[in-house]
Amino acid sequence: MADVEEEKVAGNEPKVVFKKRGKFRGRRRQKGSSDEEGQKTSSSDDDGNTAVRVKRLNQKSGLVQSTKRFKTSTSTKQAASSSSEDERSVSVSYKTSGTAKRTGPDDMGATATLEIETALDNDAQAVYERSLQLQKELKGKEDDKKYRGINNYAQYYEKKDTAQGNAASGNVRKGPVRAPAHLRATVRWDYQPDICKDYKETGFCGFGDSCKFLHDRGDYKHGWQLEREVEEGRYGQKDEQNYEISSDEDDFPFKCFICRKTFTSPVVTKCKHYFCEKCALDQYKKSQRCFVCSQQTNGVFNPAKELMLKLSKLKDEGGADDNSDNDNTAPAQEQISEGEET
């Protein structure tokens, strides 16, 4: 009976079927999982040996520069909380003004003043101006027994100076001078012109083209020479005679520079300027410098023998410059002969 009942129970049991689904088969393997060993074993079982790429963090370094910009949305910038996200969210942008006008003041800083200087209402000149104004207001009034500062004592001797006046003015007093606000000066002192001295004086340099100094034989005038030309009215005038090729006949002058007449006993200075002997001595009493070029003569006047020979040759040929000089040819010839004898 027991065997029959067991067979009935076994026949009434439900049949269960188990189906294995490929749930993760079509899914792509994720990167950077924590269980690297499990991945290696599963990959070795399914696909064999595969390379595992480890994602590297892009850390900023001061030695690496890049033009790449990190573009993030405004929501990301607002929601960024960590320091790394804050660094990535920072971006700098510049916008032009859209105009061609330069930045800065219109006068390009010509009237700019230093902020470290004393204010114009507190410097020595301003204090002196207030003192003069106060003295005018208190003139002829009784003393009100008020102390107005060390610079505002009552002055019973009236000064005739102004703030822009003489030695008692604020412009000449001791202390810092007020800087001009209407003037801009650019000054450059060239103490080392870097010109080859050998080439300038001799025209030859041992270094040749490898010389680091400038090979220039030009002559430059000093400041006092330029000022003298300005005073004499010769500044900026071009002397065309410097570019003319003179002949032998034009080497000597035909008139004295001082008296503007024909030479009588001509003498020559060290600077190669010719004068009459009498004119040169009279000029030497006034000034020891040359009448033409203002160089120091040191009292040296040599007989102009070459000029005497030229004048005698012109006399023999009968070529006189002016008709007025024909009357004085005989005494001039006698003086020339006397000069030759001396």
pLDDT, tens digit only, all 342 positions of the chain: 555 555 555 556 667 777 777 666 656 555 555 555 555 555 545 555 667 777 776 666 667 666 665 544 444 445 545 555 555 566 677 787 788 887 777 877 776 777 787 788 888 778 888 888 888 888 888 888 889 888 888 877 776 666 555 444 555 566 667 776 677 777 787 777 788 988 888 888 889 889 999 999 887 787 888 888 889 888 877 766 555 555 554 466 767 878 878 888 888 888 888 888 888 888 888 888 888 888 888 888 888 888 888 878 777 776 544 444 444 444 444 444 444 443
- Contact between 328 and 335 under an 8 Å Cβ cutoff? The reply is no
CATH topology for 250-341 is Herpes Virus-1 (3.30.40)
R_g of the chain computed on alpha carbons: 52
Q: What is the structure's pLDDT at 328?
A: 47
Could you tell me where the beta strands, DSSP code E, fall in the chain?
266-268, 274-276, 302-303
Using alpha carbons, select from 321, 319, 281 the residue that is nearest to residue 301.
Answer: 281
* pTM beyond 0.85: no
Q: How far is CA 117 from CA 75, 110, 114, in A?
A: 50, 16, 6
Give dist(CA 308, CA 342) in Å, integer: 13
- Contact between 143 and 188 under an 8 Å Cβ cutoff? The reply is no
Tell me where in the chain the CATH 3.30.40.10 domain(s) lie.
250-341
Contacts of 74 (CB under 8 A, 6+ apart): none
CA atoms within 13 A on the CB side of 115: 0
Give dist(CA 177, CA 169) in Å, integer: 12
CA dihedral (328, 331, 337, 341) in degrees, to 10, reads -140
Give dist(CA 265, CA 335) in Å, integer: 6
Give dist(CA 198, CA 191) in Å, integer: 18
